[in-house]
Amino acid sequence: MTSPYTVRAVVEEVTALGPFFAVQAHPPGTEPPGPWQPLSRPLLEARVTGVRDSLAAAGGQPPGAVETRVAASVAHLGLAARLVSPALAAAVLHGLVLASGLADLRWQPVIGGPGPLSLPGDAFTDGHADSPTGIADELSSRLLDGPLRELADAMAEFSVSRHILWGNTASAVNGAATMITSSRPELSARTRTLTSLLLERSPLREAGTTTPDGTFRRRSCCLIYRAAPDRNGALCGDCALSR
């Protein structure tokens, strides 16, 4: 495990990459004061409802016009991005892997942007920094099969298919990599190598594909187009439905 001092330094460097990377740290085994909360079922329900209301308002529609599964998918994509972004950045910058489970993380119920995220001070562990393959293996077992799978399990209860949920996760990985390379161009090669290795691992292997020119395309859709009037909204750039 990294020392508390190292964790603070990592948090500062990761947070500097942008809003989706911003994290705080709380002492391991302690409960940070409100408004920090665990990602409970009530918190997820409130987030899905808030996202549905926001999507409906953007289209000038009543909340009931937006399907719950659409709002849940969009909410999941945002939460997955909040988990993936700092985790990938720590791996790229320092060869560290987020080893905490979903129950160890704390959130603030904010709608309309990246929700505040706090990690326990012992959240990161050494991911074999001398080997990108070793780091990708650790990320797969500790992150993909850890809090990201737990998050997918929780969001699947809102009638969102696993195919869509893992597509959201793969899209979040690619999006985080794009933001890292934009902010820190000198990290481009390392970021893309690690991202490619991670996207090759199950269940992300089945969730998307990367073309020879490096363009990522998911094999599913986050469904956000269905939130617009007549379910005729714009598609995301990496959507399987885009042509």
**Side chain identity, residue 7:** V
202 phi, psi to nearest 5 deg: -70, 145
Residue 235 has, within 13 A of its CA and on its CB side, a CA count of 11
Residue 240 and residue 219 in contact, taking contact as beta carbons nearer than 8 Å: yes
**Residue written as tokens 């399987």?**
240
The per-residue pLDDT for 16 is: 95
How many residues are present in the chain?
Answer: 243
Counting Cβ atoms within 10 Å, is residue 212 exposed (0-12), middle (13-18) or buried (19+)?
A: exposed
Provide the 3-class DSSP secondary structure of residue 87: helix
Three-state SS annotation for 138-159: HHHHHHHHHHHHHHHHHHHCCC
Mean pLDDT computed over every residue of the chain: 92
Name the percent of the chain lying above pLDDT 70.
Answer: 96
pLDDT tens track for 78-127:
999 999 999 999 999 999 999 999 999 999 988 888 889 999 988 998 87
d(Cα 173, Cα 1) in Å, to the nearest integer? Answer: 24
Ordered by start, the domain boundaries in the chain are: 4-207
pLDDT tens track for 194-230:
999 999 999 999 999 988 887 899 999 999 999 999 9
pTM: 0.94
Cα→Cα distances 229→65, 185, 243, Å:
8, 39, 21
Q: At what angle do helices 68-94 and 162-183 cross, to 10 degrees?
A: 40
d(Cα 130, Cα 128) in Å, to the nearest integer? Answer: 6
